[in-house]
Every structure is written in structure tokens, then in C-alpha cells.
Amino acid sequence: MAKKEVPGIGEYGGPAGGWGALQAVAKAIRGQMSTRGTTIMLQVNQPQGFDCPGCAWPDPREGSSFEFCENGAKAVSWEATNKRVTPEFFARHTVSELWNWEDFALEWEGRLTHPMRYDAATDHYVPVSWEEAFRDIGETLRGLPDPDMAEFYCSGRTSNEAAFLYQLFAREYGTNNFPDCSNMCHEATSVGLPQSIGVGKGTVTLDDFHHCDAIFSFGHNPGTNHPRMMATLREARLHGAPIVVFNPLRERSLERFKSPQSPREMTVGKAVDIATSYYLLKVGGDAAVVQGMMKALLAMDAASLAEGGPGVLDRDFIRAHTSGFDNLVADLEASNWDDIEYVSGLSRADIEAAAAVYAKAERPIICYGMGITQHKHGTANVQQLANLLLLRGNIGKEGAGICPLRGHSNVQGDRTVGITEIPTQGFLDNLQKVFGFEPPRAATRPWKPSRPCWTAARRPWSAWAATCRSRCPTPSCASRRCASSTCRCTSPPS
């Protein structure tokens, strides 16, 4: 098969980051903003500044004056560009012509200056006044037979304040119809994790990465989608933590990374090797890999017990905090390695080697992204990862847990302030109390903190039954088993 040439993409032999990243940042800023405007970059991710719209990676407790990455610099420069797309631009170009432009070329033109309406007769966008635009929007919404016929899309690039006002407007109009980017990226997390551990969010904080002794990376490309994570992965490797990667794609940042904020690495030092093991599994083979890792853990556990050892599984945690363990074991024992190898695309030896790293770790973190969730069985994939953690009691303790990686900077914030098609009754009750209107109640889900934990149904590749049963109600519990600062089982799922 001939190699497809993609404009703007060529061979690159260097590490991720380094001088290549700095040159790309300089080019992006120089092409979009004046020299005076570049001072805005010093406000990115600063206490008195603003959060970068580029990704969702959190800010460290002790940052630097340049707390942004190449992607973040490009995102901010495109948002704050001096370039303007005026009505004269659309007078020169028909929509049919613009349809053939590359996305990058359209972005490079700059920001709109006026509301625009498409004129089918001339195939041009034409300017309209703000008054006319608002009047037309109002007339269109009032003319719909049912408010649910309108969709109010929201992106994770939106601020909390704007998102809150947006949902208030739509609910006063009469609908909970809020499709947003998290329906695509992490709906599998929002559905799967509450069934497994009682909360639909990650159970680790940035500080936990300072204490972990192994990191497992499934289905995400940090150098592309959340580059500031590379500083955290680099630090973990320098502290000796192995990083095991499962990804059909070889992403350069997961291979080696040179920190632009390290004078030594940028001058005389070499790049830091990130992945200690890099497994190129089949697309969609993640659940089979985790199935194999859990099967290998059972074998290691049995061998340890036969030799008079303590075993590999955390049986105290399993007895106190999970249900369905026997069903999970039966499902693992019934699976065979030929099927696991075929579906995963990896050898038994590779999967057992990864399981050995996991078994040795006392504080592992599992990170995952869209390569896990954006699949037909995305929810099942997420629950497999949770099962793997539960087998060794790695939920709710310092330096260990599950870390869903989001792509946009404010996906979770949008959900928190009401951008969801299934709001809780409590949220709607408070809207009614504070703002004095009856919000729509359709497609809502009640949350009952006293409700017993769900037991997930049997799914392909696993019984998915090792779900959290007993929940510690005290957030300061010394064991942090089910009540860490980020995984409080008495909280409603996302």
C-alpha cells in the first residue's frame, strides 16, 4: 500500500517538546498576535489569569511563569488573534468556494466581526445587525411546535458562567436538550464508573502522580490532546515509576520527551524516555488486554498461595468493598488465551509481562482517553479498567486510582453547572426556587445517596461484577479506601 502524503505532515526524528515545540509556539503567536498582545500568554494558567482552553490537565500547586504548552499557546493565540473576518471577506468568497478550503486556512483568517446569515440566492454570507439576529433566533424558537425540537449544543471550551446562563436560557425556554462534547468523549465514563465505583469521575488528583509507583496508559495521546500531562509523566519516569502504554499508534511523546522548561534538557541533556513498555494492540482490543491481565493476576495469586505466600489479590478489600468477585473469577477462568490474543493483537507473554508490572506496583494509576470510551463497548471497557483496579484494592488510596482524561478544558465544569440532558431533580428544584420558573422535568434522573451500589450486568469479556458495595461515609477515613478526597462514594455520579 502506498504511503499517503498529508500536506503539512512529514517525517520527524526528534523527541516531543524541545526546540521544535518552542519554534512552533513562536510561529503561532507571531502569525496571530502583535508583540504587545503576546503578554496575554503570561496570564495562562496563572492564579490571577485564566485557564488555558487547550486541554483539561490541572495546574500544579507550584507552577512557573510559562505554564502552557505548544497546543495551549496555539489555542490562546487563535482565540486572541488580531486577525478579523469582516463582511468584505464573505463578499469576496462564496460558500461553495470556502467549502473547499482546508480547516487550517479558514482558522487562519481570524475572528468574525458581525453576525452573518447565509443567502442562498447569492451563495454568500451577508451581515445582519445584532437586533435582527436576536429577533430571528427568537422567532424561530417561538415557532417550533415543541421546545425539545431545539438542540442547545455546548462545548467544553465554554466558561462556567457562560454555560450556566446558557442552560438557564434553554430551560426557561422549556427543554433539557443539551447535547455536548462529553456525550461523545466520556459518556461511557459517566455511565460505567458509577456502576463500578459509585462516582462518574476520576479518583486521583495531580498530587497522586507524585506518589504513584506505576502508570498504565490506555487509549490516549497526551502529546497531542493534553500536552501538559507530559510534565507529569516525565517527573514520574525520573522518579523511577514504570509507564506501560497500550496504543495502536506510536505517539512520539509517549516514546521520548524533552521538557522546554528544563535548561539542561534543552542544552546538553537528552530527552527522557517515557514508556518503559509500549504495546501496539489492535484497535478495540483494550478490553481483551485487561481481561488477560486479570486472568494472569489470578494465576499469579494461585501460585503465590500454593507456595505459602500472601497472594497477589487484596482479599481484605475485595471482601469489604466489592460484590460479584466469584462471578468475575468464573468468567476469567472460562476465557481462553487464544481468544484473548486474537482480539487484543498481543501475545500472551506481553500481556503477562504487563500484568507482572501491575502486580508489583503498590500504587498504580490507570489513565485512559477516547481510545477506550469512543467504542461500541466503551462502557464495558471503562468497567474492565475499574475491575482491574478493584482486584488489588487500588481505588481510594494515595497514589493509586483511575484517571479519565478529558480533551477540553471545561467539560466537567459545564456538566456541573447544568449542561446535561439528564439533570438531577435537586438541581431543577433549586433553579425553580432561585429563578422563579418551572424548569422542564423530562429526561431527568433522581439521585438517592442511600441507594445500594449497582451490580453491573454481564457483558462481553467480563462479568463486570466486582462493584463497590460498602462505602465509607467519612471523607477523612484513614484508609482512604472508599473516601478519598476525589472519590466520595456518597456523592452523586456525574
The more confidently predicted of residues 9 and 384 is: 384
Render pLDDT for 20-38 as a digit per residue (tens, 0 to 9): 777 777 777 777 776 655 6
Query: Residue 188 is inside which H or E element, if any?
Result: helix 187-197
User: Residues 260, 230: contact at Cβ < 8 Å?
Assistant: no
Residue 439 has pLDDT above 50, yes or no: yes
- Domains of the chain, first to last: 16-79 (no CATH), 204-405+463-474 (3.40.228.10)
Residues 6 or more apart whose Cβ sits within 8 Å of residue 442: 148, 176
Q: Which pLDDT value is given to residue 354?
A: 98
Q: Of 58, 320, 315, whose CA–CA distance to 204 is shortest?
A: 58
DSSP structural state of residue 101: S
Residue 295 scores a pLDDT above 90: yes
* Mean of pLDDT values over 437-463: 48
pLDDT at 462 (0 to 100): 37
Q: Give the pLDDT score at 34.
A: 66
**For residue 85, what pLDDT band results from cuts at 50, 70 and 90?**
very high
C-alpha angle 473-475-478 in degrees, rounded to nearest 5: 100
Lowest mean pLDDT across 67-76, 207-216, 255-264, 468-477: 468-477
Residues 381 and 343: beta-carbon distance below 8 Å:
no
- Alpha-carbon torsion 300, 302, 304, 310, what sign? positive
pLDDT at 2: 63
Under the banding of pLDDT at 50, 70 and 90, the label for residue 59 is low
| Whole-number average pLDDT of the chain | 82
**Looking at the predicted structure, is the pLDDT value of residue 220 above 60?**
yes
pLDDT digits (tens, 9 = 90+) for 96-146: 999 999 998 998 899 999 999 999 999 999 999 999 999 999 999 999 999
**Tell me, what's the pLDDT at 189?**
85
pLDDT score recorded for residue 493: 33
Give the pLDDT confidence score for residue 467 in this predicted structure. 38
User: By mean pLDDT, which of 76-80, 92-96, 331-335, 449-453 is the weakest?
Assistant: 449-453
